[in-house]
Amino acid sequence: MFFNKKNFLSFLMPLIAVVFMAVIAGGCGGGGGGGDSPSPGPTPGPEPSPEGARYTPGEEKILVEKKIGALGGVIEINAPGTPVDGVKIDFPAGALPDSYDVGVGYDTGNVAFKSNPALVGVPILVMNMAYKGEFANPVKITVPMRDKEATPVPYYIDGDGKLQVMSLTGIDRAKGESSFVTFHASKFTVPELKLADIPIAKFNMAYQPSGDGFQIANVGSTYNSDGECFGMSAFSMWYSWGRKSTGRGRLYSQFMDEVGKDREGNDILGQDVVATRSHTSVSRLWQTHYSDVADWQIRDCTSEDRFVAITAAMIDSVCPIVMYIDDAGKSAAAHAILAYGYSFTSDDKKSANIHFYDPNHPGDDHLFVNYRTDTKEFGGYEDFTRFAYLGQGDLKWSERFESILAGAMLNFNGSGLAKITLDGSSPKSGEEAAGRNIVISGKIESVEVLADKMKMSVRSVYEDEKGDWKYGDFQDFEGRVDGDSGKFAVPVSLNSGVNQIVFTPSGTLDEGRVTLISHDWTEEYLVTLSEPSAKILVTLTWDTDDTDIDLYVKDPTGDYSCFYHEKTADGGVLDYDVTTGYGPEHWTLKTTDTIRYGAPYKVRLHYFSDNDNGPSNYTVKIRLNEGEKDDVEYTYSGALVVSNSSNDGPDDTGADWADIAEIVLPAPSSASIPKAYATKADSAVNTLAAVPSQSERAKYKPAR
């Protein structure tokens, strides 16, 4: 595991937002030991890049058309005699922002596969729709298997006719079907291969770690202190794949100029910035998608399935493949590497090496993991023993790598950056805040992209007993930017003590695509809060604009907080009623308030109004014992798909409600009550004590 060795100034990381690094950032380092490895076979050298699979277009034949809305739905093809009979496409709730006609069928064209030239007539699935953006949630595609003993390898066919491998999410040989997920409508093909079908004994796509990997080592940053292996592997994959057609120089020697200094006066290089922004961009779906993909592959696919898929994908896409590796749960560590070639080490093909770039070991062209075809087992690499892959065809990024590259080519020197200024009502860096809940306001002068949203990420900053800087987790707050004036005003909630605040403006491009905007903020922005710390802090955020989700908390007495009754008699208080989308809303019970130990505080959500914008995905964070030795945070996520503005009583139920959690705090002197916890609520909240009637509350209820 690698820990922070660089403290980045906030102006160098303008596009950073909160990054949840539960697994891959929890390790992202070497396994700490050196596992047994066989003698390496020949390392693939920098040979000319080969040609991949070739797609020849045919006629599209749409078999099924169905309207899919924000609530989701399933499309099944029942068309015997067609090549896509039995295909099923499952849209989850929230995948689409509105209702769209989805057409599904097949393409009469053909793909010539290099992984097995004998494969002909492999079906090409077509999914067409007017919506051209990315799905908010992954759409699952299940296809019948023609050969239950073979390995299905899913691809999507991009606009240039090239194949990009998709993440295989499962094989059910008993049912004779396999599945993968996608974030976009496209054309897909799923060839089935066996190890014996692959004719090439050695393969390399003209990639070398000493030329195409990063020159810097994966030592992390202030924002990703445990490592940035996923982003470094993904950016190296993207850069090397596109470099061949653009004539750009190889990555290893690029972007090594100094662009700034950290707190300790150490140089920050262009590659440092690229690594951090790339990792932030792709890792946001780790907990909710990519870690699940790896788990599904390891659980439902054999080692041979994964080896065949990785090798075939390299041959047919001529693109390096991001691999997930871990130590089978022996620690929290996981890691990302980039496979770029393979070689069989014996004529009988009983042993093969997958050659890869490891961001922990820059410039090392001799790293590999061995696979035994006779025992069907991967060998170890350092302490890592389990291997899966993540397809480049379903990578989803919050900032496109093109934007990161554009900034890198300008050396991140402030050229063409948006200008941010704060007005006099906002605290200056180093000042004391007037209260826990403040509004930070100012103006942004946009450049190439008009800023329409300002995000502020807030986290605690403190020194440990050794005098080292430590950081809490970021919490995001968002507000709109006025298109004419560039003014913004974002309500934020501070932590007790010193708070670091990072600005992330964004703008909307064509077809609803959002891009983050580089800016010139050059000051580390620190604001101090001296108020008592929170015993309970509940934070609600959600992901849709112009929608209204409300936070409700009921305390053990039966009193409650919501938008029309913010404060309980015990002192628990709701700070904001956000009616225009995203949140945040907070409920706080301070250490100086009345605390009911050993009894449940119940947290609920109500979808008051979607304003015809459809479902919303919510996130609720519950922090207990702020700043104390048993400070802990729980996170709950889900979706609300139905809204109802008239069903807003604290004990109301229905599809527009979600019961989130029950919070129990242990009595300070009691050994019989366990450590403070928050458990997922299983049922609707029941009234524990008499509370004012709805008619009494209604007279205080504001118009909405």
Q: For the segment 472-514, what is each residue's pLDDT rounded down to a tens digit?
A: 778 888 888 987 788 999 988 888 889 999 999 988 764 456 7
Q: Mean pLDDT lowest for which of 2-6, 65-69, 326-330?
A: 2-6
Q: Looking at 283-380, list the stretches that DSSP marks H as alpha helix, in order from N- to C-terminal side.
A: 291-300, 303-317
| 517 φψ region: left (φ > 0), alpha (ψ -120 to 50), beta (else) | beta
Per-residue pLDDT of 73-114, as tens digits, reads 999 999 999 999 999 999 999 899 889 999 999 999 999 999
Q: Three-state DSSP class for 424?
A: coil
Integer Cα distance of 8 and 682 in angstroms: 43
Residue 53: alpha-carbon gap to chain centroid: 30
Give me 314's structure tokens: 């390299």
Confidence tier at 323 by pLDDT (50, 70, 90): very high
Element (H, E) at 254: none
pLDDT exceeds cutoff 50 at 695: no
153 Cβ contact partners less than 8 Å away, ≥ 6 residues apart: 115, 165, 168, 190, 191, 192, 193, 308, 309, 312, 313, 316
Amino acid identity, position 335: H
Output 601 or 41, whichever has higher pLDDT. 601
Q: Counting beta carbons within 10 angstroms of the beta carbon of residue 675, is it exposed (0 to 12), middle (13 to 18) or buried (19 or more)? A: exposed
CATH (one of 2.60.220.30, 2.40.128.130, 2.40.40.20, 1.10.375.10) for 54-197: 2.60.220.30
Cα separation values, 252 from 207, 220, 235, Å: 11, 18, 12
> Which one is predicted more confidently, 668 or 662?
662
Q: What is the pLDDT of residues 450-473, one digit of tens each?
A: 778 999 999 888 777 777 777 877
Query: What number is the average pLDDT over the span 227-246?
Result: 85
For the record, the structure tokens of 621 come out as 């964070």
More confident residue, 519 or 500: 500
pLDDT > 90 fraction of the chain, expressed in percent and rounded? 50
Q: What is the pLDDT of residue 696?
A: 42
Mean pLDDT of 268-279: 84
Q: Examine the pLDDT at 539 and tell me if it is beyond 80.
A: yes
Question: Could you read off the pLDDT of 553-610 as tens digits, one per residue?
Answer: 999 999 999 999 999 999 999 988 999 888 889 999 999 999 999 999 999 999 999 9
Mean pLDDT computed over 506-528: 76
Give the relative orientation of helices 229-246 and 401-409 as an angle to the nearest 10 degrees.
80
Confidence of residue 694 (pLDDT cuts 50, 70, 90): very low
Q: What's the per-residue H, E or C state across 50-77?
A: CCCCEEECCCEEEEEEEEEECCEEEEEC
**Rounded CA separation 562/571 (Å):** 13
Say which CATH class 532-704 falls into: mainly beta
* pLDDT for 502: 92
Residue 692: per-residue pLDDT: 37
Instruction: Write down the residue that tokens 């950032």 correspond to.
Output: 25
- Write down the mean pLDDT value for the chain: 82
* Most confident of the following: 77-86, 422-431, 523-532: 77-86
> DSSP code of 248?
P
Mean local confidence (pLDDT), 178-194: 95
Cα dist from 694 to 506, 527, 550, 564, 648, whole Å? 41, 40, 17, 10, 10
pLDDT of 42 reads: 41
* Mean pLDDT calculated for residue range 130-152: 93
CATH 2.60.40.10 domain extents, the chain: 419-530
Q: Are 579 and 613 in contact (CB under 8 A)?
A: no
Q: What is the model's pTM?
A: 0.61
Judged against a pLDDT cut of 60, whether residue 699 lies above it is answered with no
pLDDT at site 37: 39
Structure tokens at 20: 């949840």
What pLDDT does 686 receive?
29
**Token pair of 413, please?**
């020197």
What integer pLDDT is reported at residue 515 of this predicted model?
76
Q: What is the pLDDT of residues 389-410, one digit of tens each?
A: 998 888 887 667 887 787 788 7
Cβ atoms 613, 546 nearer than 8 A: yes
Nearest one of 110, 122, 144 to 193, comparing CA atoms: 122
Among the residue ranges 209-223, 536-550, 586-600, 605-619, the one predicted with the least confidence is 209-223
Count the residues in the chain.
Answer: 704
The pairing of strands 497-508 and 514-516 is antiparallel
- HSE-up (13 A, CA, CB side) for residue 37: 21
- Nearest Cα neighbor of 493 from 583, 582, 424 is 583
Asked whether the beta carbons of 434 and 450 are under 8 A apart, the reply is no
Count other C-beta atoms under 10 Å from residue 72's C-beta.
18
Q: Which residue spans of the chain are classified as CATH 2.60.220.30?
A: 54-197
Q: Could you tell me the fold of the domain covering 419-530?
A: Immunoglobulin-like (2.60.40)
Output the pLDDT for position 3. 25
pLDDT confidence of residue 693: 41
Mean pLDDT of 167-182: 94
What percent of the chain shows pLDDT beyond 70? 83
Assign 246 a pLDDT band (cuts: 50, 70, 90): low
Average pLDDT over residues 357-370: 96
Q: What is the pLDDT of residue 484?
A: 74
Amino acid occupying residue 408: A
Q: What angle do CA 114, 118, 123 make, to 5 degrees?
A: 85
The CA angle 198-204-209, to the nearest 5 degrees, is 145
User: pLDDT higher for 573 or 688?
Assistant: 573
Where is average pLDDT lowest: 144-158, 243-257, 277-291, 689-703? 689-703
